[in-house]
Amino acid sequence: MSGPQRIGVNASFTAGYLGEVPAEWQAALGGSHVAGLCCLSIISRTSFGPALTAFNPSSPASGTQLMAYPMGHETLGGCEDVGKLFNCATGVRGVVFVPGTRSVLVIGTLGLDGICYKSERGPSACRGTGGYAAVRYAATVWAYDAADLALVAQGQRQPWDVVPYATWTLPGLSASSAETVGGAAYDPTTSRLYVTQNGGDGSKPLIHVYTISGATAPPPTPDPEPEPTPVPTDAVVSAWSAWTPTGDWSICVAPGVQTRSEERTRTVVTPAANGGDTPALRETRVASQSCTLPTPAPDPDPVVIAPELHALIVAEIDRVLATWPRPKDGTPGAAGPVGPMGPRGETGATGPAGRDGASVSVDQVRALIDQLIATLRVVRE
């Protein structure tokens, strides 16, 4: 990692102090290092209190914000608050993550009283200044619990919901402005904390060395209250509309009934929530009504043949039959066995002479029918 780099998405919250994250906390916080910035002039663009973003040097722009107090979320205090954890006479210059503990130490200067802003009528500390100032200052440590920061990284808290579990004043370091503390660093091999005091040795900085011994973890952060299980709420719907036809009436069928399809609808007044149900918004039905069956067509009149026409047809049949060739006699068949003689019956009266039979082919029958049809057509015309 070299050259200018952007850490996170807003440089007004990150382009200041840097610190290393102990290996045991890197996965939980989302990075091997942290960066922060706060308390700039035109405070609306930055944080009202210490800010921290975790990042990895391989991809610094995709940092995870762990704590920040933007305008509208001044959890630690407002610009002119006295006796709180922040005011606009505050300066933050360093961050130290003590290995083997849950303590994240943010180091800077806090205005104690007489907070004013460019006021000639206010305390003398404000006269001729270009911004906020205080009558007295204290070199301050804001101690945060790393477990709280981990909850933010996991999305269970907002960055402005985190507050220090303790604060204290650095002994032996006299502060006269928000810029008194210039920076901080920690040596884990010697457990020494180094804090720079700007102008502490005339025009030169003075390095104050503190030993952190017997470091203990802060009280454990209670588990967050479980989110209440949302209660399913069913949708509220309007009343049904009137039944509306979706097609025409069918034809009338026995026993005098016709049908058509109809529907009715309703709308959602209040949507369902948390998995609640939404009732059906459309219903259909088949409606019916009585109807009059159409009058059937009358049967055709039967064909009545007048006696004269009947006689003419018979005469024509006789004429056609007379023209057909008589069949030739066939070869006699073998005589059958003689049966027993039955009793002699009485002699009956002589009947009328019969006609000779004739064998008729299928084609001849069809021809006869065609001639009859033709004759009938002529007669009817």
User: Could you please report the per-residue DSSP string of 286-350?
Assistant: EEEEE-PPPPPPPPPPPP---HHHHHHHHHHHHHHHHHSPPPPPPPPPPPPPPPPP-PPPPPPPP
Confidence of residue 202 (pLDDT cuts 50, 70, 90): confident
Q: How far apart are CA 143 and CA 34, in angstroms?
A: 15
What does the mean pLDDT of the chain come to? 82
Beta bridge partners of 109: 91, 139
Of 125 and 287, which is predicted with more confidence? 287
Of 3 and 14, which is predicted with more confidence? 14
Q: Let me know: does 141 contact 150? Beta carbons within 8 Å.
A: no
Sign of CA dihedral 50, 22, 5, 94: positive
Averaged pLDDT for residues 269-274: 92
Residue 354's pLDDT is: 46
Beta bridge partners of 167: 142
Residue 376's pLDDT is: 66
Sign of CA dihedral 61, 66, 67, 70: positive
**Phi and psi, residue 98, nearest 5°:** -80, 115
Confidence of residue 217 (pLDDT cuts 50, 70, 90): very low
**pLDDT tens-digit map of 162-193:** 999 999 999 999 888 888 899 999 998 888 99
**pLDDT tens-digit map of 64-93:** 999 999 999 999 999 888 888 998 889 999
Confidence of residue 265 (pLDDT cuts 50, 70, 90): very high
Q: Would you say the pTM of this structure is higher than 0.85?
A: no
Q: How far apart are CA 185 and CA 188, in angstroms?
A: 10
Averaged pLDDT for residues 52-61: 90
Residue 240 pLDDT more than 80?
yes
Which tokens go with 44?
């609306």
* Cβ neighbour number for residue 160 with a 10 Å cutoff: 20
Say which amino acid occupies 269. V
Confidence of residue 48 (pLDDT cuts 50, 70, 90): very high
Residue 263 pLDDT more than 90?
yes
209: Cα separation from own chain's centroid: 57
Q: Let me know: does 240 contact 264? Beta carbons within 8 Å.
A: yes
**pLDDT tens-digit map of 113-148:** 878 877 655 566 565 556 788 888 899 999 999 999
Averaged pLDDT for residues 302-325: 70
Q: Let me know: does 261 contact 284? Beta carbons within 8 Å.
A: yes
Longest dimension (CA), the chain: 177
Q: How far apart are CA 40 and CA 131, in angstroms?
A: 10
Q: How far apart are CA 25 and CA 151, in angstroms?
A: 12
Nearest residue to 33 (alpha-carbon basis) of 70, 58, 68, 4: 58
Task: Give the percent of the chain with pLDDT over 70.
Answer: 77
Which tokens go with 273?
């929530």
Say which amino acid occupies 228. P
Alpha helices in 62-159 (DSSP H): 146-153
Residue 45 pLDDT more than 50?
yes
Residue 174's pLDDT is: 87
Task: Identify the burial level of 295 via C-beta atoms within 10 angstroms of its C-beta, where 0-12 means exposed, 13-18 middle and 19 or more buried.
Answer: exposed
Q: How far apart are CA 324 and CA 271, in angstroms?
A: 97
> Helix, strand, or coil here: 32?
coil
Element (H, E) at 207: strand 204-211
> Helix, strand, or coil here: 380?
helix
Q: For the packed helices 307-323 and 362-380, what is the interaxial angle rounded to 10 degrees?
A: 150
Q: If you average pLDDT over each of 151-155, 302-306, 367-371, which comes out highest? A: 151-155
Averaged pLDDT for residues 282-300: 86
Residue 65's pLDDT is: 93
Q: Let me know: does 106 contact 92? Beta carbons within 8 Å.
A: yes
Nearest residue to 50 (alpha-carbon basis) of 71, 36, 62, 33: 36
**pLDDT tens-digit map of 321-346:** 677 665 555 566 566 565 566 566 56
